[in-house]
Amino acid sequence: MKDLYKTLGVSETADEASIKKAYRKLAKDLHPDVTGDDKKKTERFKEINEAYAVIGDEQKRKEYDRLKHAPVRPDGMPEGFDAEAFARTFGGRARTTAGGVEVGGDFDMNDLFANLFGGGGGQAQHPWARARTRPVRGADIGGRLEVSFAEAALGAKRSVRTGSGGTVEVSIPPGVESAGRLRLPGQGAPAPGKGGTPGDLYLEIEVRPDPFLSRQDDDIELALPVTMTEAALGAKVEVPTVEGPVTVTVPPGTSSGARLRLRGRGVKNADGARGDQFCRVEIVTPKIKPDDAETRRLFEEIAKRTSSGPVRKF
């Protein structure tokens, strides 16, 4: 009997988060983008996706666990096996006929049962296995797509590896965030038989953080350090944006904490509208050396000349 837990390298008591974490790690390591045309690793990639499709789903996992540990009947079926319940759980349909049970759906019941329980030729003689099915569909597969902060904010196009080993160009929608999911219909695993359609490819987006910019809804935030002189006299400062560096004006007398707005430099929406970028001023105070009496005197003189009364009201 095939142990799907072993396929993912987790215990039977593993919780949902642990199963998902194990699957993501394996999918990342075995994705065709990483392994290239290694057929063994591609087959392993397909196996972990099939395993996760079952034990990553609460209802399917429950039914799998029940059948996995059930005693085997004389006819070779697990004790308590019911074709109609099996079909409903795994996405098919079943009906009783004069000859037994016919099962239909977007899968081949022989292949599905063989994959889960190591069946095949012997089980094919059971009435439930005489399924009248449509052509078998290929498995859905998952992967991870890392994009830059700017690509996520503005949208982009990237080439990705498909389940068949080829490449396809995918459009990254503007405004996408980490954990966002892209579905590429028909780009998953090829159908195992003639006439079937490929599965779908699901890509989970991971946005690479920017060292200076951060996102707040549709706006972008930037901490902007300025000197005391720049804050007092005003200055023009070059700052990064998702489209490259631009110049921002720091007005004379700017206080720490002031937010300078760059209109239309934020995250792009699906309708083309954009948020803003805010540059939050952080005044950097110079350190005066203990033996630098002249600099201290100059600051004291500046304090006398610029004093406008108490700045604190508490």
Distance CA 26, CA 45 (A): 8
pLDDT tens, residue by residue, 141-160: 888 899 999 999 999 999 99
Mean pLDDT value of segment 219-246? 95
27-31, 78-82, 108-112, range with the lowest pLDDT:
108-112
Work out the angle between the directed axes of helices 39-55 and 58-68 (0-180°, nearest 10): 100
Lowest mean pLDDT among 41-50, 75-84, 120-129, 204-213: 120-129
Please write the tens of the pLDDT for every residue from 159-200: 998 888 889 999 999 999 988 889 999 998 887 666 778 889
pLDDT band at 104 (very low <50, low <70, confident <90, very high): very low
Place of tokens 């039914």: 63
How far CA 158 is from CA of 105, 119, 167, 199, in Å, comes to 34, 41, 10, 20
Provide the pLDDT confidence category of residue 77 given band limits of 50, 70 and 90.
low
Confidence at residue 79, expressed as pLDDT on a 0 to 100 scale: 75
CATH level 3 topology of 141-207: HSP40/DNAj peptide-binding domain (2.60.260)
Confirm whether 4-129 and 213-306 share one CATH topology.
no
Strand partners, 244: none
Per-residue model confidence as pLDDT tens digits over 18-56: 998 998 888 888 877 777 767 888 888 888 888 888 888
Fold of domain 213-306: HSP40/DNAj peptide-binding domain (2.60.260)
Q: What is the mean pLDDT of residues 269-284?
A: 92
- Token pair listed for 293: 């009496």
* Strand-strand pairing, 246-250 and 141-147: unpaired
CA distance 46 to 190: 10
Domain boundaries, the chain: 4-129, 141-207, 213-306
Counting other chains too, the contacts that 115-123 makes at CB distance below 8 Å and 24 or more residues apart are: 115/2, 115/50, 116/2, 116/4, 116/54, 116/64, 116/67, 117/1, 117/2, 117/67, 117/68, 117/78, 118/1, 118/2, 119/76, 122/76, 123/76, 123/77
Q: How far apart are the first and last CA of the chain?
A: 75
In angstroms, rounded to a whole number, what is the distance separating the alpha carbons of residues 152 and 212? 15
Q: Is pTM, for the whole model, over 0.85?
A: no
CA distance 233 to 243: 28
Q: What CATH superfamily classification does 4-129 receive?
A: DnaJ domain (1.10.287.110)
Helix (H, G, I), strand (E, B) or coil at 75: coil
Three-state DSSP at 82 gives coil
pLDDT for res 143: 87
